[in-house]
Structure 1
Amino acid sequence: MSGGRDFQAAGRSVVVAGEAAAATAHPLATLTAIEMLLDGGTAMDAAIAAAAVLGVVEPAMTGIGGDCFVLMSVGGTDRVLAYNGAGRAAKAAHPDWFRERGIAKIDADSIHAVTVPGAVEAWCRLAKDHGKLGLDQLLRPAIHYAEDGFPVAPRVARDWAEDAPRLARNPAAAKQYLPGGKAPQTGDRVTLPLLAKTLREIVLKGSAGFYEGWVADDIASTVTAEGGLLRISDLAAHRGGYTLPIKTNYRGLDVWECPPPGQGLTALLMLNILAQFPSIGSGPLSPGRLHLEIEAAKLAYLERDRHIADPDHAHIPVDDLLSEKHARRLAARIDPNHALDLHQAKFLQPHPDTTYLTVVDRDRNAVSFINSIYYGFGSARATERSGILLQNRGACFSLDPAHPNCIGPGKRSMHTIIPAMVTSEGRPVLSFGVMGGDYQPMGQVHALTNMVDFGMDPQAALDCPRVHHEDGVLGAETGLPEDVFLGLADRGHKALRLTAPLGGGQAIFIDWQRGVLLAGSDPRKDGCALGY
């Protein structure tokens, strides 16, 4: 990886550490992770504590009302574990129920988009299996910020203001998350006492403190009051679980993802397509490189929308989709000079929300951890007694009975959030992720190829300007040079400048030869990387 940057240009250096490192989307969460490591905790302890803090200080992006997925490289080896912390639809959520009521689509703001939150169960299980510190210590920082208050960071303030109209429609959400009737501004101090009370219940009773008792009753009654199907029995029945990760090889590196229902397979398929080309471009911001990446994404996303669903309820031909033969067939469709027109139907609404973090400890346990309530503030509904923002992950379901991702009793929807891990020669070398809903596979591939094909360090790879194809239009960040923008337009892309950045991300590279960690944090968020 290249180490030199222009110190006269705006930007930040990659963080270099010898013992351990953490990177999150908020300084308070990164600090929390480091404190847990210094107190003798593992990378998993640090990740869970940081995720809990993010659920308080970055409430538009994540919280205990959402889901999480985790990849972990154990003890500096290529033994990669995957945990599926996705919640399920209600047992009563049969497609006929929706059809009989004339509901053709589960809207993101619909009460029917609320699914069982899976994150808390995942935190408790992973802390028990891979941590050294108890829930009391792991959740203490989050409880502190919820009870005593936290100052609102700039990107958090921007997201809060954007979603204020949605929060205002729900009395409980407005009361708790719009102090004084409006979104807090940068530097304002916010407290969330009800959320603190719920976190204390989880410390006291573990996952039972969330999925049973008064907290579960509060969640279920909030949903049923609006005609939703979720019941307390759905919460009590929830269990996440370990699953076998999937991988592909790109330029000699093994790239790992969680399996379906996550969309990580999409990123692997993109890499397989790009691997068919000896070179993906003359430079990281060359029109040829970005065009190839965009075309690979179009083809891979089309396969995603056809196939990815809950593997407990549908057959997903993972091996066939990731085969060399399939990659060659798809790559052959790419014209280096002309954009494909696939007439792709819009399946997911674009949104910038979710939070990702990564931690590597002194034993080189590497944790790639993503937690989300889907849209900004999830469903924009809060429970009245427990202060939980409920996710709207059910909006990812189809209502077409012929589609494998059609909603059904106890099913998990196709999921956008995807942590990633890279190993080489039996050891982890990179723990990373890029957030941003539909953008995530594209973002992961962009960041990874920045490092692998163009030699960037993790910080430079995340800083690099981004593009994303959505619904026939190519959105380009303002940082993309004008000549590159025009070069993409010349290839037939309907390009426009975006008014908001694409996603966010964090990455930690493990340099085994020199015994150091290189950590980066996306400038599109408030966060930072730290190490020691």
Structure 2
Amino acid sequence: MTVDYLYNPYPLARNSVFANKGMVATSQPLAAQAGLEMLKKGGNAIDAAIATAAALTVVEPTSNGIGSDAFALVWTNNQLYGLNGSGPSPKNISIEAVRRKGHEKMPAHGLVPVTVPGAPSAWVELSKRFGKLPLPDVLEPAIRYAEEGYPVSPTLGKSWDLSYKNYKTLLYGEEFKGWFETFAPNGRAPRIGEVWKSKAHAETLHSIAETNAESFYKGDLADQIADFFSKHGGFLSKEDLAVYKAEWVNPISIEYRGYNVWEIPPNGQGIVALMALNIAKGVEWNDKDTVDTYHKQIEAMKLAYTDGKAYVTDPKDMKMAVEDLLSEVYGQQRRALIGEEAMSPEPYQPVHSGTVYLATADGDGNMVSFIQSNYMGFGSGIVIPETGIALQNRGHDFSLDETHPNALKGGKKTYHTIIPGFLTKGKEAVGPFGVMGGYMQPQGHMQVIMNTIDFHLNPQAALDAPRWQWLKGKKVMVEPHFPSHLAQALSRKGHEVEVAIDSGSFGRGQIIWRDWETGVLVGGTEGRTDGSIACW
């Protein structure tokens, strides 16, 4: 076996799910079923991933949309491929232009933080290179959900209501009218169990499917997006859309105790997870639930994040090479800084996010790790009228300080929080994993991988385990069910520990591992959301 699938220290936790013909793990049951439909129609894991991702724009709009960005790691033909579906800033944007609009820092909502959406192009690139089924067939379940409607699930309903109440007080102006018409047509968010539908969303997905997204980047939909931005004084243009294409990239990795952990290279923050694990692998981890284990994990993550925020940006503008940040020497130097007391590195202020993650696998050995996001919930608050296209606000992470490594300029990709993960051993795939949730994502990746490799937890147990989240300085937040005696012990080491009211900000993950001897798939799904595994 690749890992000890049987160990679960949480007797009341759900069990991992086993199958051998195919599996889809994601945060919404209907989206998981959309992926399974593709597998049963003769499609592969890539078709299943695209179908699930498209469905998630409909059944979890609080986290992603047609105007999202996306990243993917694809295992096929015994090789791992990476796809960067994040878009650059508009060509004509600049620090000076944003300041002239009265902003001292990049806003979170509105037209200014919108960068070129990459998700539709990512779907097309995956389909063209590795898919088996025609794109119209793959997007059909998502189109059906949008056209016929679906009942709102519990976590989705709660998030939708919170977003509506927040937007009602924050979003003023004609440019935000489309969001309220689309997502609060009755003057409120849809309630849990209430059926919501969007004919415009369905028509847009149909157009993307029939034209391989040409309509979105060069055709009628591109015209509608560009005209809207021109009308309301935004920066995104049809030229920005027309020249965009999701980019195939070489995944990056580190060796960790006989395994290789893989991430998408910058501009994504996956390198932060690898840096933290590179520091951690020089430490002996005897038991999971000890103060020494949690203390050193947190300290390693602090160091990795401090350096990630200092260097990660568009690869063209990075001041330090990826190879140097992941080198053994660098890991040793940073590890040497970990002492018995909590340190306070240069702080940053994380923000909450809106992201969906999914993992797929088929009976032929193909596996996909896929993540898609609008950022900060619904994103920019901009919905192009009569299209259902909710646009992300990734440009919010740009700095208006010209000396900052992630300083805004036209045509540049920003530091990106969404990261899919993948695990291999030797020449064999173990499988896809991910933990969505803004700046929690590398922290979740580190904890899930260590739970798997160091502490031998099965996929469901690895996800169910209580999580911690470093905020800034010495501040650490832990989940409500985190052992209180360990939280107190961390406080005695100088950590400023805060116990969260709920688990909403601790990430939402999915895992599928494959036993390469038997071909059996074993999956875990997130209990912190409406997580579901569909399999056969």
TM-score interval (norm. to shorter): over 0.9
Shift of the 131–495 alpha-carbon distance from structure 1 to 2, 3 Å rule, reads same
1:434-513 to 2 correspondence within 5 Å? 434-472=435-473, 473-501=475-503, 502-513=506-517
Aligned to 1:182: 188
1:307-386 to 2 correspondence within 5 Å? 307-335=311-339, 337-346=340-349, 349-386=350-387
Aligned to 2:134: 134
Q: Indicate yes or no: 2:416 matched with 1:415.
A: yes
Q: Indicate yes or no: 2:514 matched with 1:514.
A: no
Q: Shift in Å at residue 174 of structure 1?
A: 0.7
Q: Shift in Å at residue 102 of structure 1?
A: 5.1
RMSD between aligned alpha carbons? 1.5
Aligned to 1:92: 92
Q: Is the 8 A contact 2:434 2:509 kept in 1?
A: yes
Aligned to 2:105: 105
Cα distance between partner residues in 2 of 1:286 and 1:367: 34
Aligned to 1:282: 287
Q: Is the 8 A contact 2:7 2:457 kept in 1?
A: no
Q: Indicate yes or no: 2:223 matched with 1:217.
A: yes
Cα distance between partner residues in 1 of 2:33 and 2:366: 18
SS of aligned partner of 2:139: helix
TM-score (norm 1): 0.96
Aligned to 2:250: 244
1:228-243 to 2 correspondence within 5 Å? 228-243=234-249
TM-score (norm 2): 0.95
Q: Indicate yes or no: 2:171 matched with 1:172.
A: no
Q: Is the 8 A contact 1:309 1:316 kept in 2?
A: no
Q: Is the 8 A contact 1:30 1:527 kept in 2?
A: no
For 1:410-439, what per-residue CA distance to the aligned partner results, in whole angstroms no more than 9, with x for missing partners? Answer: 111010000011111201112101111001
For 1:306-332, what per-residue CA distance to the aligned partner results, in whole angstroms no more than 9, with x for missing partners? Answer: 110111344441111111111011001
Q: Shift in Å at residue 373 of structure 1?
A: 0.6
Q: Is the 8 A contact 2:98 2:112 kept in 1?
A: no
Q: Indicate yes or no: 2:307 matched with 1:303.
A: yes
SS of aligned partner of 2:343: coil
AA in 2 matched with 1:133: L
AA in 1 matched with 2:217: Y
Cα distance between partner residues in 2 of 1:74 and 1:341: 43
For 1:133-152, what per-residue CA distance to the aligned partner results, in whole angstroms no more than 9, with x for missing partners? Answer: 11111111111110100110
Of the three residues 254, 262, 277, the one matched with 2:260 is 254
**Number of residue pairs aligned between Structure 1 and Structure 2:** 524
Task: Please identify, of 100-109 and 159-168, the stretch whose mean Cα deviation from structure 2 is larger.
Answer: 100-109
AA in 1 matched with 2:260: D
Cα distance between partner residues in 1 of 2:250 and 2:399: 25
For 1:86-143, what per-residue CA distance to the aligned partner results, in whole angstroms no more than 9, with x for missing partners? Answer: 0111001122323455533102124211111001011011101100111111111111
AA in 1 matched with 2:344: D
Cα distance between partner residues in 2 of 1:43 and 1:249: 26
Task: Please identify, of 267-276 and 12-21, the stretch whose mean Cα deviation from structure 2 is larger.
Answer: 12-21
Of the three residues 33, 55, 58, the one matched with 2:57 is 55
Cα distance between partner residues in 2 of 1:287 and 1:267: 21
Cα distance between partner residues in 1 of 2:254 and 2:484: 34
Q: Is the 8 A contact 1:167 1:173 kept in 2?
A: no
Q: Is the 8 A contact 1:94 1:407 kept in 2?
A: yes
Aligned to 1:18: 20
Q: Is the 8 A contact 2:306 2:346 kept in 1?
A: no
Q: Is the 8 A contact 1:160 1:183 kept in 2?
A: yes
Q: Indicate yes or no: 2:397 matched with 1:396.
A: yes
Aligned to 1:197: 203
Q: Is the 8 A contact 2:269 2:442 kept in 1?
A: yes
Aligned to 1:117: 117
Cα distance between partner residues in 2 of 1:183 and 1:486: 40
Aligned to 1:528: 532
Q: Is the 8 A contact 1:173 1:380 kept in 2?
A: yes
Cα distance between partner residues in 2 of 1:343 and 1:210: 41
Task: Please identify, of 512-521 and 186-195, the stretch whose mean Cα deviation from structure 2 is larger.
Answer: 512-521
Q: Is the 8 A contact 2:359 2:368 kept in 1?
A: yes
SS of aligned partner of 1:394: helix
Q: Indicate yes or no: 2:81 matched with 1:81.
A: yes
Q: Shift in Å at residue 222 of structure 1?
A: 2.8
Q: Shift in Å at residue 455 of structure 1?
A: 0.6
Cα distance between partner residues in 1 of 2:26 and 2:113: 27
SS of aligned partner of 1:163: helix
Q: Indicate yes or no: 2:406 matched with 1:405.
A: yes
Cα distance between partner residues in 1 of 2:381 and 2:100: 26
AA in 2 matched with 1:512: W
Cα distance between partner residues in 1 of 2:325 and 2:7: 39
Unaligned ranges ≥5, structure 1: none
Cα distance between partner residues in 1 of 2:502 and 2:64: 19
Q: Is the 8 A contact 1:519 1:530 kept in 2?
A: no
Q: Is the 8 A contact 1:282 1:288 kept in 2?
A: no
Q: Is the 8 A contact 1:31 1:530 kept in 2?
A: yes
SS of aligned partner of 1:200: helix
Of the three residues 27, 31, 34, the one matched with 1:32 is 34
State the percentage of identical aligned residues.
Answer: 39
Cα distance between partner residues in 1 of 2:362 and 2:33: 14
SS of aligned partner of 1:338: coil
Q: Shift in Å at residue 372 of structure 1?
A: 0.5
Cα distance between partner residues in 2 of 1:167 and 1:218: 23
Q: Shift in Å at residue 171 of structure 1?
A: 1.5
Q: Shift in Å at residue 197 of structure 1?
A: 1.0
Q: Is the 8 A contact 2:110 2:382 kept in 1?
A: no
